[in-house]
Amino acid sequence: MGGVIRDLHPWPRTEAEAVAIQERLRPMVRVEDPPQVRTAAGLDVAYRDEDEIVAVVTVLDVASLSVVDSSVVRGKAEFPYVPGLFAFREAPPLLAALDELSVRPDVLVCDGQGLAHPRRFGLACHLGVLTDLPSIGVGKTAMGRYEPPGEERGDWSPLRLDDEVVGRALRTQRGVKPVFVSVGHRCTLDAACDLVLRLTPNYRLPETTRTADHLGRIS
């Protein structure tokens, strides 16, 4: 996938620099219907110790949910652990892993947040803008407030932050805790939730996340 990552900013050294980058890039996020999705990339980061990072990307054929490509990049975190600024720890190795792929995915499925973020620019937005690929965030925990959705697969309720709808609590399996879906870039919330349901035929988490997490554990 080499050569498609846009050089839009230097990587910051301070919190103030990082916040300024998020504020500057936020207007570049586009919410629109994505093109046809045949392949979806799962992105995950494992920590071997406080600063040792294993960044993993798996690319799945959405029809069969089989892995068609993958990459693993190891490195050191260059930015401190600051809530709301996780992208500055995790994006650099994830971008390096994306750069090693031979298959360009149609969408990025991030284990984290998109617009469900204090500055509406979570990891999924950041990676989407830098690659200009459609991207979505699928979080295990909520960034914001929500009422529990119905118990059936596909039921959802709005996820709100500062009285603004920033995503959805989506029930992917009957009677199982919801996941929290938000737009990253070049996608709509309806399309993001439809894709997540396609990626969760049997389990709570998308197969993109599950395969990336598994590869990170054994690498």
Question: Is 190 a known ligand-binding residue?
Answer: no
CA 177, CA 172: separation in Å to the nearest integer?
8
Q: 87-99 vs 123-131: helix axis angle to the nearest 10?
A: 40
34, 41, 134, 154, 213 from 129: Cα distances, Å? 14, 15, 9, 28, 23
Question: Is 213 a known ligand-binding residue?
Answer: no
* Joined tokens for residue 128: 């989407």
* Joined tokens for residue 196: 């997540």
CA 178, CA 154: separation in Å to the nearest integer?
10
Nearest to 133 by CA among 57, 47, 41: 41
CA 7, CA 81: separation in Å to the nearest integer?
23
CA 111, CA 131: separation in Å to the nearest integer?
17
- Binding-site residues, in ranges, read 44, 111
- Binding-site residues for Mg(2+), in ranges, read 44, 111
